Amino acid sequence: MRSQVVIIGGGPSGLLLGQLLHRKGIDAVVLERKTRDYVLGRIRAGILETGFVNLMREAGVSDRLDKECFIHDGTLIADGEDMFHINFKELIGDSVVLYGQTEVTRDLYDAREAAGAETYFNVEDVVINDADSDAPFVTFTVGGETKRIDCDYVAGCDGFHGVSRQTIPLSVRKEYEKVYPFGWLGILSETPPVNEELIYSNSERGFALCSMRNANLSRYYIQCSLSDHAEDWTDAAFWEELKRRIPQEAADALVTGPSIEKSIAPLRSFVTEPMRWGRLFLCGDAAHIVPPTGAKGLNTAASDIHYLYNALVQVYEEKDAEGIDRYSEKALARIWKAERFSWWMTTLLHRFPEMNAFDLRMQQADIAFLRENRDAQKVMATNYVGLPY
């Protein structure tokens, strides 16, 4: 079997790359280790940068997104009882879009099926062979049968625990990591959101975030200990703790209800360099992870896809390898800026175990500067809405 590109990972980044390439007549096979239903069952973030939305439009899969998305012109920052608005539209003339990652993935799967593009689910034992040569190939097992796909390029979109990054020799790659000493306890509830925009809240009890998926589906988070377990938190205990961490006006407006999903996610910043080895290219979580505070996880994956997609089109249509050769350089230049922003948002809004009185005063001063200084707000808005590709 042969394909021009093999995409390892059937999440949104791999599917988006596949759809973009299909529209250009470039063959791409997608390998996914789980089922479609499993992938669609994962609950993930839903804040999309303008660049991501434009890629969905270029891929021809934005009809439902454009009809059903919520446009957010800003966000709210709370510090105790004090809450202020960062108006993206007024500050920089741009906005973000709220549209769940599950819906993005569903749209991309539907488009892939409609196109008749080849996707293998439940694959096991994936091995990327000869990636540092001119003739790479991928072997895998599906349904008890071993298969081989010869290809020109391999796109590793298989996440932090996938095989793609591990394929790059340790002598070649260098990894940078910061593990945060807390996690996020999150619940999903069939309740209206407490506010039409997100509320990021710093309180003496720890961080909280009020988010949403749609008009009747809300997502809430509170900072928690890494030793906590989701099952130890009753719904009632979660709601009471959330109310303690957000301003009273928000707590009074909060509509509570049974959780339909509850989980704890650890927070980490991670980058591996380079993002290319021979004809293997890393994208998304396979190469980098950000804490979710800045809403950058899916969006940083999209920027990788932008660079790789355009590089592949350049090499196939123009026989020009410039984009391929500079993929890692271009992708990492933007990734590190997104990492900085996500790290800054996390340190701005969370209570760290080792913080002393001076650290707390510095955090309060940072929030006060953001509240009072329009230039600081423009910097935040520019990063939150998304840096240009």
Mind telling me the catalytic residues? 72, 200, 292, 296, 384
Residue 224 token pair? 């928690």
Residue 181 token pair? 């000493």
Sign of the CA dihedral 360, 75, 336, 299? positive
Per-residue DSSP letters for 338-357?
HHHHHHHHHHHHPPPTT--H
The secondary structure of the chain in percent helix, strand, coil, rounded to multiples of 5, reads: 40, 30, 30
Per-residue DSSP letters for 96-120?
EEE--HHHHHHHHHHHHHHHT--EE
β-partners of residue 83 are 78
Kind of pairing between the strands at 96-98 and 47-48 = antiparallel
Which of 37-67 are b and which e, b meaning 16 or more Cβ less than 10 Å from the residue's Cβ?
Answer: eebeeeeebbbbbebbbebbeebebbeebee
